Amino acid sequence: MIELIINIVFGLLALTSVVWGAFVLKKLVGLVRLYKSSDVTVPLYPRFKWHIPILVLLGAALIADIVYLILSPSDYIIAVSLMVIIGMIAAVVGLMMKVKCGVTDSGVIMPYRFISWDKLGDYRIDGDSVFFMGNAAGFDTMEAATAKLGVVSTDIEKLSRVLEEHKKN
């Protein structure tokens, strides 16, 4: 009975990851299309290559799952569910690597988010890094948190000018 419940739970987790992954992938494809169709004023770059260690960990998890499947063929549902979950996470991370960042004519595009000009609350430029805020509550809220993005030093003045023109007061 416990084995049946565990199989159902893992099956539901796999189904949930597929549904979540579909929504996230749809949003990321939209960001890729938006970037390609927009006039990019200032390109931005992620500061940390976080996707590389995550992909290495996902690869190791997939190898461990395959070994688990070979050693415990009776736990087929659990192993396949884990493969589906690992695959969806890898697909999301892989597509996030393709999303380019930049200040465009319609707003700011990041690997996971788009802030239109009417939602841009504030920004902060620290050296060759920029942070954006799309929330009136400030930089300290989770909703307003953005990744630290890099900007080429020759584009900082242009970036500051464009952002100041569009900043909500």
What is the per-residue pLDDT across 33-76, written as a single tens digit (0 to 9) for each?
Answer: 999 998 888 898 876 777 889 999 999 999 999 999 999 888 88
Condensed to tens digits (0 to 9), the pLDDT of residues 10-39 reads 999 999 999 999 999 999 999 999 999 988
Tokens encoding 118: 């009417």
Domain residue spans of the chain: 2-166
Q: pLDDT tens digits, residue range 84-103?
A: 999 999 999 988 888 888 88
Residue 95's nearest CA partner among 25, 147, 161 is: 25
Can you tell me the mean pLDDT for 106-114?
Answer: 83
The pTM for the full model equals 0.78
Q: Using CA atoms, how far apart are residues 147 and 32, in angstroms rounded to an integer?
A: 17
